[in-house]
Amino acid sequence: MDGLATELLTTLVETLRDVLPIAGILFGFQLIVLRQPIPRLRQVLTGFAYVFAGLVLFLVGLERALFPLGKVMAAQLTDPAFIIDGIDDVLGWDDYYWVYLFAMAIGFSTTIAEPSLIAVSMKANKVSGGAISPWGLRIAVAIGAAIGISLGAFRIITGTPLHLYIMAGYVMVIVQTIFAPRMIIALAYDSGGVTTSTVTVPLVAALGLGLASTVPGRSPLLDGFGMIAFTCLFPIMSVMAYAQISEWRARCNARARKEGD
Amino acid sequence: MIKQLQAFLSTLLDSLRDLAPIILVVAFFQLVVLRQPLPNLADVLVGTVLVILGLTLFIRGLDLGLFPFGESMAHAFARKGSVFWLFAFAFALGFGTTVAEPALIAVAEEASKAAAGGGVIPNVEAERDQYALGLRITVALSVGFAIVIGVLRILRGWPIQWVIIAGYMGVVVMTQFAPREIIGIAYDTGGVTTSTITVPLVTALGVGLASSIKGRNPMTDGFGLIAFASLTPMIFVMGYGMLY
């Protein structure tokens, strides 16, 4: 338990180093360029203190509970000794089913807990006047991340070139953009970037590295990357799909009501 | 005071619900698939309590501080009307929040190892450190650039999809010319640039600007800054790989 105090202190210092430049830019521009007092100064300062303290506790907690466990799990699940099924000793891509399932489950659950996604969904709910439900958006993003990460695992296992997947993804995004409701497009593009933050990146990177170093013929230096890119790309599609489905259902309902009259 | 406490408690419950899926997933894989007991149960419990408390404080803090302050700054910049200072602020925000980002520091280090392993740079520590620092500055510059372009888009009211499609083309073209070992790293840096503090601030800036400029819709014009911030690093990093 005595490790906890030192851990809190080191994370506090590290987070401070990360946060101070941002605070400096914000308050510097406010006071020097805009030359205005800060409205509701006490409340704002309390909020910043909360954000800072919250981030420190969050990081220490992750480092203590989730990251060690998740990283050991990723290593164990990708270990050939675990995957080999005893029937034949040649590993095929389909022997890794637990890895795909783990990738999917961990992608979904870490995205749901991602603080920056919670922030964006709160904002989107407010700006859209309640039309976008925070949970609908977060679940849509999490489904996208789950698909992205498991496909990323599949790519490392099969050793297919990364850029082909990315380009196919781009084509899909552009096609969906043509058909998706205007209102959702900017938010959908944003949701790619917000998925990969504090909680998701370390676990996904550990999974990718574990796969790249244990799958025969892969090198962690060349093939370990790419998982995060997938996690960024697929939520764009799933959020647009979510909006398309909601719009389609609203239209069906409207038609049914009309026919009922 | 009672109202504050109520708000805090309801956020606490939300955090509990937000973290429930992770707890379930980890428990299922550990106990059912890998069939192993949880190591250091005490650590895991303490950690989980800290995560829940931390998330609750963070979300309360967003509502009290980061969101209103970010938006009030955006309004103030719109009223001031100086495009130069707005761009300077946008660039500083993008560059400043990225250059010290811990996730980026970690990826840059990995990338320097990959470059040394691929024979791009001599495998000595000084060379690797220099490569990693160069990469970090490249990414930070690209994020600063992205926020400036994003703000310009909000001012002008350009539809986001055209800018994004242009960016995608940039990525596709650069992929043809960039050395093979940088491509995976470049694609990944797009994701690691947007940290937990950057996202709410940048979102508040975009939404605040779009709602204080006449003729802009905060929903279609306000979002999108983060999308740019995760796109430009790919292009810039592939460029960095070509120069090296």
Q: State the complex-level ipTM.
A: 0.89
pLDDT at B172 over 90: yes
> Where does the pLDDT of residue B232 fall: very low under 50, low under 70, confident under 90, or very high at 90 and above?
very high
User: Pick the residue with more confidence: A257 or A119?
Assistant: A119
- The predicted model scores a pTM of 0.90
A245: left (phi over 0), alpha (psi -120 to 50) or beta: alpha
> Where does the pLDDT of residue B89 fall: very low under 50, low under 70, confident under 90, or very high at 90 and above?
very high
Distance from CA of B22 to the nearest CA of A (A): 5
pLDDT at residue A90, as a whole number: 62
Phi and psi angles of residue A67, each rounded to the nearest 5 degrees, phi first: -60, -50
Mean pLDDT score, A67-71: 84
Mean pLDDT score, B34-62: 89
pLDDT at residue A66, as a whole number: 87
Q: H helices of chain B, where? A: 2-28, 41-61, 67-80, 83-99, 102-117, 125-156, 160-177, 180-192, 198-212, 225-243
Radius of gyration for chain A, computed over Cα atoms and rounded to the nearest angstrom: 22
Quick count: other Cβ atoms within 10 Å of Cβ B184? 25
pLDDT at A84 over 70: no
Helix (H) / strand (E) containing A15: helix A3-28
Distance from CA of B235 to the nearest CA of A (A): 13
User: Pick the residue with more confidence: B209 or A4?
Assistant: B209
Q: Look at B2-6, B73-77, B158-162 and tell me which has the smallest mean pLDDT.
A: B2-6
Distance from CA of A178 to the nearest CA of B (A): 9
Q: Look at A169-178, A246-255, B144-153 and tell me which has the smallest mean pLDDT.
A: A246-255
The pLDDT tens digits of the residues spanning A36-53 come to 888 888 999 999 999 999
DSSP A96: G
Q: H helices of B62-101, where? A: 67-80, 83-99
Cβ-based neighbours of B40, under 8 Å, separated by 6 or more: none
Query: Please, is A32 exposed, middle or buried when counting C-beta atoms within 10 Å of its C-beta (0-12, 13-18, 19+)?
Result: exposed
Cα A136 from chain centre: 15
pLDDT at B201 over 60: yes
pLDDT at A1 over 80: no
Residue B28 half-sphere exposure, CB side, CA atoms within 13 Å? 12
Residue B196 has its nearest CB partner, among A21, A115, A232, at: A115
Mean pLDDT score, B19-47: 86
pLDDT at residue A261, as a whole number: 65
pLDDT at residue A195, as a whole number: 86
pLDDT at residue A77, as a whole number: 85
Percentage with pLDDT > 90 across chain B: 57
Percentage with pLDDT > 70 across chain B: 100
Alpha-carbon torsion, ordered B136, B140, B141, B144, to 10 deg: 180
Cβ-based neighbours of B141, under 8 Å, separated by 6 or more: B95, B236
Mean pLDDT score, B3-23: 89
Mean pLDDT score, A66-92: 75
> Where does the pLDDT of residue B41 fall: very low under 50, low under 70, confident under 90, or very high at 90 and above?
confident
Distance from CA of A259 to the nearest CA of B (A): 33
pLDDT at residue A89, as a whole number: 59
Cα A66 from chain centre: 16
- Residues written for chain B: 244
Subunit contact B200:A116, Cβ cutoff 8 A = yes
Question: How far is it, in rounded angstroms, from Cα A90 to Cα A92?
Answer: 6
Q: A109 touching B, CB under 8 A?
A: yes
Distance from CA of A257 to the nearest CA of B (A): 29
> Where does the pLDDT of residue A151 fall: very low under 50, low under 70, confident under 90, or very high at 90 and above?
very high
Subunit contact B54:A59, Cβ cutoff 8 A = yes
Over chain B, what is the mean pLDDT?
89
Mean pLDDT score, B31-50: 85
Mean pLDDT score, A87-108: 81
Question: How far is it, in rounded angstroms, from Cα A24 to Cα B156?
Answer: 29
Residue B20 half-sphere exposure, CB side, CA atoms within 13 Å? 7
Subunit contact A69:B51, Cβ cutoff 8 A = no
Q: How far is CA A128 from each of CA A6, A141, A176, A180, A253, rounded to the nearest angstrom?
A: 44, 17, 21, 16, 21
> Where does the pLDDT of residue A187 fall: very low under 50, low under 70, confident under 90, or very high at 90 and above?
very high
Q: A1 touching B, CB under 8 A?
A: yes
Distance from CA of B200 to the nearest CA of A (A): 6
Residues 157 through 196 of chain B touching chain A, CB cutoff 8 Å? 160-161, 164-165, 168, 171-172, 175, 180-181, 183-185, 187-188, 190-196
Residues 131 through 160 of chain A touching chain B, CB cutoff 8 Å? none
Question: How far is it, in rounded angstroms, from Cα B74 to Cα A204?
Answer: 35
A79: tokens are 């270990």
Subunit contact B203:A119, Cβ cutoff 8 A = yes
Residue A193 has its nearest CB partner, among B165, B219, B227, at: B227
Contacts of A51 in chain B (CB under 8 A): 57-58, 61-62, 65-66, 197
Mean pLDDT score, A103-111: 93
pLDDT at residue A88, as a whole number: 56
Cβ-based neighbours of B196, under 8 Å, separated by 6 or more: A55, A115, A116, A197, A198, B58
Residue B97 has its nearest CB partner, among A22, A98, A177, at: A22
Contacts of B60 in chain A (CB under 8 A): 47, 50, 54
**CA nearest to A181 within chain B:** B220
Best B8, B11, B12, B29 member to test A by mutation, with max A CBs in 10 Å, is B29
pLDDT at residue B97, as a whole number: 85
Question: How far is it, in rounded angstroms, from Cα A174 to Cα B171?
Answer: 14
Percentage with pLDDT > 70 across chain A: 95
Mean pLDDT score, B73-80: 90
Contacts of A119 in chain B (CB under 8 A): 59, 62, 67, 199-200, 203
Mean pLDDT score, A244-249: 89
Give yes or no for a contact between A156 and A225, defined as CB atoms under 8 angstroms apart. Answer: no
Give yes or no for a contact between A166 and A227, defined as CB atoms under 8 angstroms apart. Answer: no
CA nearest to A200, candidates A234, A163, A232, A223: A232
pLDDT at A56 over 90: yes
Q: A221 touching B, CB under 8 A?
A: yes
